[in-house]
Structures are given as C-alpha cells and as structure tokens.
Amino acid sequence: MLIEPRTGADPELHALITEQQRELASASGGEDEIVYPVRIGATYLVGIVNGHAVACGAVVTLDPDTAEIKRMFVRPAFRGRGYSRAILAELEELATRAGYRTLRLETGGYLPVAMSLYRTAGYEPIRAYGEYVGNAHSVCFEKRLPVLA
C-alpha cells in the first residue's frame, strides 16, 4: 500500500470519510448518517492499492504538545491486511516529527477490532476528553511519543 498526503478537498478522501460515517452510524445503531466536515488544519493520509484509495487517517492539533488521531478507516474489502496499522504508524511518525509529545484518539466502544488495534499499538485507555466527555459510546486512548533530539 502506498501512503500519501491528501488535502481536505480531495474527492477520494471525501468518499472514504463518507463511507466511514455510514458504517459508524450502522454499527452504533444510528439510523441517520452524520456528516462531519473535513477539519481545517488536519493532516490527512490516504492509503492507495492498485490506484484506488482504500484507507485513511488524520492528525489534528489539540494543543502544542498533543495531537489527535482522526478518521481512521479501511474499506471492508481491504481489512485484515495491516493497512490500518500502516496508516497509524505513519500518522505517529508525522506527529513525532511535528514535535508532539502525546497522541490521543477516540473510538466507539462497539468497535472491538479498533480498540484492539490501538491497544496493541501501545495506546492506553484514558478518561474521555474534549467533545467526548459524557458520550457513553466513546472510548479514549493516549500514547506518549518519543522526543526527537
């Protein structure tokens, strides 16, 4: 899989995010699709296989020392091949090079595969933060990043 940066205006990125939101709405028992806007200032990565966008993820600044992983998604037909782990590793590398000391993320408690990915990648469960406080479906994680000399 080739991993490349994309802008928030990229149509392939929009298609992946829309597919992710539909899947999340279905998995959480929601009937209505919730559309989240592309975040200004986010750094987006897209995974390409045979010329097709199949995976994505983003890093967003929370504060000068902390960033958040957002929009992690792999199309169902491409799961189980390590693509999410590759996107996550590249996002962590971007965050480390940008000088962040901590990465946080939120996932749904109804997504055990995602929670397993984050745990095996070194993320520790934390209390809900920011917009996730009070959301019964949210499970939050955090990972300390290496400090570059």
Domains and CATH numbers, the chain: 2-144 (3.40.630.30)
Residues 6+ apart with CB under 8 A from 146: 96
- Residues 135-146 pLDDT 10s: 999 999 999 999
The one-letter code for the residue type at 37 is P
d(CA 44, CA 41) in angstroms, rounded, equals 9
Answer whether residue 40 shows pLDDT above 70: yes
Q: Where are the alpha helices (DSSP H) in 28-143?
A: 83-97, 112-120
- Residues 61-101 pLDDT 10s: 999 999 999 999 999 999 999 999 999 999 999 999 999 99
